[in-house]
């Protein structure tokens, strides 16, 4: 993930958001959140498989900030707009960084 913006929850600085754009249609890991000071991460951008009625989360985010009262994260994207992300649920945990990333895309066959 290419990181362009980082934000801490002012009420709980162990909650960290990292966001970044790849300047392509849609990255598989645009916004990630840690609830334990960076030990584990949760990918908040889900592109596949999507459940019916879901939008897939924020894409191509260049700036992220956390509201000091509501604790909502606000993510500003390029052509995809702005997202409001709810604060983490009590007890939310992520995965170690090496497991939290989206799977690598298959390489282009060389011929």
pLDDT tens digits, 48-80 = 655 666 666 777 888 999 999 999 999 988 777
Global confidence as pTM: 0.76
Q: Which residue is listed with tokens 């260049």?
A: 62
Domain ranges of the chain: 5-90
Whether the predicted pLDDT of 91 surpasses 80: yes
The percent of the chain in helix, strand and coil, each rounded to the nearest 5, is 5, 35, 60
Cα–Cα distance measured from residue 58 to residue 77, given in angstroms and rounded to the nearest whole number:
7
Q: Taking the mean position of all CA atoms in its chain, how far away is CA 86? A: 12
| pLDDT, averaged across the chain | 79
> Which residues are CB-neighbours of 39 under 8 A, at least 6 positions away?
96
| Dmax (CA) of the chain | 56
């Amino acid at each position: 993930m290419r990181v362009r913006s980082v934000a801490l929850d002012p009420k709980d600085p162990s909650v960290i958001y990292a966001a970044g754009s790849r300047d392509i249609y849609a990255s598989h890991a645009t916004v990630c959140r840690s609830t334990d000071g960076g030990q584990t991460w949760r990918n908040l951008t889900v592109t596949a498989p999507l459940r019916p009625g879901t939008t897939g989360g924020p894409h191509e985010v260049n700036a992220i900030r956390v509201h000091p009262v509501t604790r909502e994260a606000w993510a500003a994207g390029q052509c995809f707009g702005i997202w409001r992300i709810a604060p983490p649920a009590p007890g939310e945990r992520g995965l170690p960084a090496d497991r939290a990333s989206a799977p690598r895309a298959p390489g282009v066959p060389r011929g």
